[in-house]
Chains A and B, each alone.
Chain A
Amino acid sequence: MAESEFAQFKERFDYLSERQTADHLAVNCPAEKLVELCIVLREDFGYDLLVDLTAVDWDAQSPRFTGMYHLLSTTKHEYLRIAADCLDDIKPSLPSLCEVFAAANWHERETYDLMGIHYDGHPDLRRILMWDEYPYHPLRKDFPLAGIEVPLPADDVAEATGAAVLPAPMMGGPFVSSADGPMSQTEPSARDESWTEQEEKPTD
């Protein structure tokens, strides 16, 4: 099924390449063709439900960020994954799909919030889960699990009490050992030692 469908895609869109996947059909798409591709997929191939939109941070690799889209056809009941690399590693951006799928609106706000990917053409690209003044993008790999101290969102409370949002105490876990390397080095240890003490805060 997946192979014949991919051949069909290939015929129509020469810029697509097949992507390694453990389940349903997955394709790589250049970012600039994404909107065009999604419109055709919705209109001609029946992929009308955008079930999920997110991104992956590949840390040291380049391209560092890849946008991941999952479409579901409500008629054929087939999933399709589209991966689109962000060309710029420092200021990653992707075209917004809000015009094609209304569902993309909140998903893109979330990905912008947590991953720091800018969606060009999004009507209202604000943070959605973190508060508006929050300075970091916490799902990036260089952001520590414990968090980083930031000012309290409520100025008046902060002024009166001197309170701030502090990193979570990491004593006691989570304890994880890495899967590769000799046993002597893979002792379970608290994985995230808040890098505020050892390294400087990254300049945004």
Chain B
Amino acid sequence: MATTTKEISIGDLGARSGEHETELQGETMALNVGPSHPTTHGVLRLKMELDGDVVKRCDPVLGYLHRGDEKIAENMTYNQFVPYTDRLDYLAPLANNVAYAMAVEKLANLEVPERCEAIRVLCCELARVSSHLLGVGVYGMDAGAWTVFMYTFTEREKLYTLFEELTGARFTTSYTRIGGVARDIPDGWLGRVLEFCKGVLPVLDQVDKLLTRNRIFMDRTVGIGAISKEDAIAYGLTGPNLRASGLSLDLRKDKPYLGYEKFDFEVPVGTTGDCYDRYLMRAEEIRQSVSIIRQCIDQFPEGSYYAEDAKKIFAPQKAKVLTSMEELIQNFMIVTEGPQIPAGEVYFEAENPKGALGFFIVSKGGGVPYRLKIRGPSFCNLSILDKLIPGHYLTDITVILGSLDFVMGECDR
């Protein structure tokens, strides 16, 4: 049989590098990733300088999702801002709602009843489970393991049904109010949460089997994107990304709020701070959150879901507003002027799925904050990129970004 050979000309410089090996030495190429690119999980843009396959320099460009949330906050009452907090870390809106309400309550020196705290703990932990399920799922997908995403996304969908039942919305929950939550939990909801907990653990085992000892996944993540403990602290990393680097700092343990000290849970801590460790952190945190949810439901307190003594802060019950003069006035004042918060400065951080979400509020009294600064954990976690990425192969960028599990909504605010 006769064979013919045909010469194919390839326009790509890299493919012809063999021919011009000496000439290509020292030449670099500029590569732009994003702002709209599947691996950047949102609208992050990376301007990179490549030497062959190796990234020499990386300049992250942010701001594509900047909405001026802080400016908006200065122009509306405290309760009106709750829906804006949904859109910070939009993968865990409930946790943002809680963190914001707690910051304002700290300024007002207001304590919420035990039942309200328990509801909020459930909100935070369910949000953490939901965020980490997606985080682990898409991380697997970034590393080439499609199946995991399908499993975790199915579970997250069940959670969203629970959120819808609790808050009336799947995504943009806006559930908390200053001094309480919007409404009490529905009948039988706790049982359905427990059912979800029962169902999610086997799925986590599946994920474990699919990823943790998966040769391909390990090859792509072990030793990649390692952050030292010193660097993690210097760059202000928080949450699972910081703990993966070996520092046990979890605000739920170290600065307990919402009665987290009552619950028995472990804080997973990594050793090397590489991409693999960051995956392990999130996988384990889901299990710990499930344990907290079970303990919380186990001794779910009776009582009120809002602070009843906060007459100038939490709007009265609707039935009373329609029948009683005093409550009508109270409701009118809170709706028009906002919850009355004393003057002062306060900074509060909560341990959110992505890290510490902080609110710095300056109040001059009245219903509107004078200045509200949002400390988005993703913003700080991403600031290490220009140090972390150089030296890695281009293909590793996908994995590193996936492992940092960031959300541009709270990064750009």
Residues of chain A having any CB pair with chain B under 8 Å: 19-24, 26, 48-52, 54, 56-57, 68, 70, 74, 77, 79, 81, 101-103, 105-107, 110, 114, 127-131, 138-139, 143, 145, 174, 176-180, 186-188, 191-192
Contact = CB atoms under 8 A, between A and B. Distances in A.
Nearest to A56: B371
Interface residues on B, range: 35 or more
A106 B346 contact: no
Contact of A22 (B72, B345, B371): B345
A186 B337 contact: yes
B77 interface: yes
B356 interface: yes
A97 B382 CA distance: 18
Given A23-B106, A128-B63, A176-B75, A186 B336 contact: yes
A179 B366 contact: yes
B273 to A, nearest CB: 15
Contacts of B365: 179-180
A176 to B, nearest CB: 6
B347 A81 contact: yes
Instruction: Tell me whether chain B's interface is mostly helix, strand or loop, or mixed.
Output: mixed
A32 to B, nearest CB: 23
Nearest to A106: B383
B338 interface: yes
B395 interface: no
B107 interface: yes
Contacts of B198: none
Pick from A51, A57, A68, A145 the residue with the most CB of B within 10 Å: A51
Given A70-B375, A110-B379, 14 more contacts: A22-B106, A22-B345, A24-B347, A26-B345, A74-B233, A81-B347, A114-B70, A131-B63, A139-B71, A174-B75, A176-B76, A176-B338, A177-B337, A187-B336
B75 to A, nearest CB: 5
A103 B383 CA distance: 7
Contacts of A101: 234, 236
Nearest to B107: A22
